[in-house]
Amino acid sequence: MQQRQDHWFRPAAPHSDLAWQQSADGWLRLAVTLDGTTRSGRSSALDPDTAPMREWYDAAPVPPGGSGPEFFSDRIHRLNDLATQGVAANDNPHEDTRGLEAVPVEGLRYGLPSGFPATLGVSRSRDGILLDIPLSTPRGEAVRVMGLGEKTGSLDKRGRTWVMWNCDEPVHSPEKSALYQAHPVVYLWTPGGTVTLFIDTMATVWFDVGEAEPDRLLIEIYDNRFDCYLRTDESLPEAVESYSALTGRIPLPPEWALGFQQCRYSYFPEERVLEVAQKFREERVPCDVLYLDIHYMDGYRVFTWDHRRFPEPDRMVQGLRDQGFRVVTIVDPGVKTDVDYPVFSSGLEKQAFLTRPGGELYVGKVWPGDAAFPDFSRPATREWWARWHKTLFDAGVAGIWNDMNEPADFTGDEVLRVNFTVPDDLVAHNEGEPVSFGRVHNEYANGMNRATRDAFLQYRPEERGFVLTRSGGTGVQRYAAIWTGDNHSWWEHLTMMVPMFLNVGLSGAPFVGGDAGGFQLNADAELYRRWIAAAAFTPFFRAHSALDTRDHEPWSFGPEALETARRFIGIRYRLLPYLYTLFEEASRRGTPVMRPLLWEFPQDPRVASRADSFLLGNALLVAPVREPGVQERSVYLPAGVWYDFWSGERIDVPRQPDGSGAVVVGNAPLDRIPLYLRGGTILPHEGLRQHTGETGDGVLRLLIAPDAEGRAQGTFYGDAGEGFGYCAGRFWRGSFSWDGSGLRTESRAGESGEDLRWTSLATAVCPGTSGELNPEAESLLDLPHGESRLSLPWA
């Protein structure tokens, strides 16, 4: 393995500078600079729209008990010692530089404002800075640690060391820590309050979350200047809202991006794509998007078409569009170093590519063979890259799928996948302040996704645009939705998707999903059915599979699996008014679409780290079946009223003295997933459509699920589903409430509902304890919905 060279940090003159600031909106910021580095104000992690408005003033830390700064150099050897023993360092390209002597400079403690007694120690380590935070409270409450973005493992990240280092990791086995995304944010949660701790850096960061010592969080940052943001909130929802105010929210997606999406590595030629499209419509499986993976390109040259496989892309794309399909194409950053290829030659001319320290072009290897990598930290490169999207937009492509943007580079050790990315010592332009690439490694995909967004603004100004990315750093949600890369058709990965997506959502990126059915290897019918049933309730819903697997389309696993896929994809479509409402909230407040039970039930002691089920919004509890051969599973229901989605049975879960609920048996034959509607909510839904381009029957249905007092409440947002009319008030947002006898509606905002596709309202109230669904009804959505006495406020 290769020794990391220290291009940006020399420990010779140990000197660090700490500056504390506080913002009017409750953040405490510790700015760290080492060795006289001058601070730069920029970071792609922060939302550029809101960051300049935040006011900061100097804040001297208040040491608890007035004891003043403390030295604690004795503590900081532990993380380094541990890492040399190989713990969680297997996939860390920097491991050989660890375990060196720590260089203590100074220590500092800060008593955080309200309730939660977190203190922060800061000291110098050989590779950067070490932060030391106790994970215990005086009252001895368990502190849960969530966040850290896309990681293996459970919802609570304790007991392990996790690294932020984006790489093309093809096997997401449990011991892996570095995958494609870097979100160095943790929430330290107790029922009484949440501390948010975010490290604003795009360099490597290690989080030892109670591995070296059970009650200690050690964070080591390999950077010579970064900011550490800290705050305390009363609840996790408030913490996530504040964090997403800092790092930005998702743009409101077009409705079609919430529909079902079918992918394959790769669908080609044109006839095959058309055949898949036709089959969806013939089999009546709703679908909005088909993907073209790398084989649509001419010899893997990005922004070109293989005209043998796709003779007239625009004609094909238009034909698909007429049938209600959008086409999304893959884009890889690696540009083939072929002088007769205009993307490369123009890039060379514009000095758009990453170079070696001496200025020589860096040539790596990806699908097209020798390839150069755009330096997306250079504004002119982003502009140049954005313009090339014209070749795809001219063909009518509706969305861009950015892959390999860690960036992956095959010149490393193919077997061990060590250094499977470009070298640290390339030069990154870094918006005019050149640095070694290693220092901004985790930012690479942000720049690429930003350029893709710019391409939409330029060529598709009327559309909201859709960008999907594999890699990203903090803030990536402002540009792209995230899919979690190359999972396997393993039950373990169906299981893992729940805590993984939950933590991505908590880390500020609510538009997340993974390859349904599994990417690598072959799914069988049972795994496929279980996976589709669960993924239908996750924010981004796409099926995909690898080059050498069997077919993974809804009809590929026999008639029963097809029926299951049709059912769950259908339910997804019928729930789109609800989902769309959740996405709109996510775009405004950063609220996760898919939530841990803890989000809604913080006082329930049995849900604090639970991820064997999840909530879609606040109303639906989804309990995926995660193993073969079973027809039922246990489901934990927090105290309150719940309705079995399939039988309609009302389940009253009494509150135990400690605030907990009860375990029920969820009936789960192969064509069902245990699914519960929460009492006290109102679920907006609609009739089945085959794709979002269909207008539907114009009836907005409200399913009312009364709580123990007979009341229910729900919110709703609607607009045209595409375009920017909503920015000019063409939307309706409001709430509905049910008091046991009548429905009330309250408009909260919005000037007009003229773009909405619903013209009338129909309601149904969930059956009481004795109530069973009538025999024709398959689920609660099929309860007869009567015409409501209330008319739609906009109609």
Quote the tokens at residue 758: 């619903």
Report how far residue 664's alpha carbon sits from residue 651's, in angstroms, rounded to the nearest whole number. Answer: 9
Shortest distance (Å) from residue 484 CB to ligand MIG: 9
Closer Cβ to ligand MIG, 489 or 788, answer by number:
489
Report how far residue 114's alpha carbon sits from residue 559's, in angstroms, rounded to the nearest whole number. Answer: 58
Q: How many CB atoms lie within 10 A of CB 463?
A: 16
Q: Show the site string, 494-533: x = touches ligand MIG by CB under 6 A, - = not.
A: ----------------------------------------
Shortest distance (Å) from residue 71 CB to ligand MIG: 47
Of the candidate residues 293, 375, 553, 600, the single one contacting ligand MIG (CB under 6 A): 293
HEC string of 230-281?
EEEECCHHHHHHHHHHHHCCCCCCCHHHHCCEECCCCCCCHHHHHHHHHHHH
Closer Cβ to ligand MIG, 160 or 295, answer by number:
295
Closer Cβ to ligand MIG, 135 or 179, answer by number:
179
Report how far residue 39's alpha carbon sits from residue 56's, in angstroms, rounded to the nearest whole number. Answer: 16
Q: Show the site string, 190-229: x = touches ligand MIG by CB under 6 A, - = not.
A: ----------------------------------------
Of the candidate residues 95, 220, 454, 486, the single one contacting ligand MIG (CB under 6 A): 486
Closer Cβ to ligand MIG, 511 or 794, answer by number:
511
Shortest distance (Å) from residue 276 CB to ligand MIG: 15
Of the candidate residues 403, 406, 649, 722, the single one contacting ligand MIG (CB under 6 A): 403
Report residue 174 CA to chain centroid gap: 19
Match 């619903």 to its residue by tokens.
758
406 binds ligand MIG (CB under 6 A): no
Shortest distance (Å) from residue 410 CB to ligand MIG: 9
306 binds ligand MIG (CB under 6 A): no
Quote the tokens at residue 333: 């950053």
Q: Show the site string, 264-283: x = touches ligand MIG by CB under 6 A, - = not.
A: -x------------------
Q: Which amino acid is located at 707 in the chain?
A: D
DSSP 163: E
Residue 406 annotated to the active site: yes
Shortest distance (Å) from residue 29 CB to ligand MIG: 36
470 binds ligand MIG (CB under 6 A): yes
485 binds ligand MIG (CB under 6 A): yes
- Please provide the DSSP assignment of 285-310 as one string: ----EEEE-GGGSBTTBTT---TTT-
Residue 156 annotated to the active site: no
Match 């220290």 to its residue by tokens.
6
Burial of 478-516, coded b for 16+ CB within 10 Å and e otherwise, reads bbbbbbbbbbbbbbebbbbbbbbbbbbbbbbbbbbbbbb
- Which among 132, 150, 233, 486 is annotated as catalytic? 486
Closer Cβ to ligand MIG, 331 or 451, answer by number:
331
Q: Which amino acid is located at 442 in the chain?
A: N
294 binds ligand MIG (CB under 6 A): yes
Shortest distance (Å) from residue 404 CB to ligand MIG: 6
Shortest distance (Å) from residue 245 CB to ligand MIG: 31
Q: Which amino acid is located at 610 in the chain?
A: R
Closer Cβ to ligand MIG, 291 or 758, answer by number:
291
User: Binders of ligand MIG: how many residues, by CB under 6 A?
Assistant: 10
Residue 409 annotated to the active site: no
Residue at shortest CB range from ligand MIG: 265
Report how far residue 575's alpha carbon sits from residue 449's, in angstroms, rounded to the nearest whole number. Answer: 29
Closer Cβ to ligand MIG, 223 or 486, answer by number:
486
Query: 577: phi > 0 → left, psi -120 to 50 → alpha, else beta; which?
Result: alpha
Closer Cβ to ligand MIG, 202 or 330, answer by number:
330
Report how far residue 665's alpha carbon sits from residue 667's, in angstroms, rounded to the nearest whole number. Answer: 6
From residue 36, alpha-carbon distances to 9, 137, 170 in Å are 11, 36, 40
Query: Counting Cβ atoms within 10 Å, is residue 411 exposed (0-12), middle (13-18) or buried (19+)?
Result: middle
Report how far residue 567's alpha carbon sits from residue 778's, in angstroms, rounded to the nearest whole number. Answer: 10
Please give the residues from 648 up to 677 whose contact with ligand MIG meets the rule CB under 6 A. none
From residue 486, alpha-carbon distances to 40, 191, 469, 483, 680 in Å are 36, 35, 12, 9, 39
HEC string of 633-695?
EEEEECCEEEEECCCCCEEEECCCCCCCCEEEEEECCCCCCCEEEECCEEEEECCCCCCCCCC
Q: Do 570 and 204 touch, CB atoms closer than 8 A? A: no
Residues 6+ apart with CB under 8 A from 628: 491, 526, 527
Shortest distance (Å) from residue 403 CB to ligand MIG: 5
Shortest distance (Å) from residue 624 CB to ligand MIG: 22
Shortest distance (Å) from residue 515 CB to ligand MIG: 7
Coil, helix or strand at residue 448: helix
Of the candidate residues 330, 498, 582, 651, the single one contacting ligand MIG (CB under 6 A): 330
488 binds ligand MIG (CB under 6 A): no
Q: How many CB atoms lie within 10 A of CB 368?
A: 21
Match 């009364």 to its residue by tokens.
706
- Which among 306, 403, 409, 719 is annotated as catalytic? 403
Q: Do 156 and 190 touch, CB atoms closer than 8 A? A: no
542 binds ligand MIG (CB under 6 A): no
- Which among 200, 406, 454, 600 is annotated as catalytic? 406
DSSP 746: E
Shortest distance (Å) from residue 166 CB to ligand MIG: 13
Shortest distance (Å) from residue 300 CB to ligand MIG: 9
Residues found near ligand MIG in the complex (CB under 6 A)? 265, 293-294, 330, 403-404, 470, 485-486, 544
Catalytic residues: 403, 406, 486
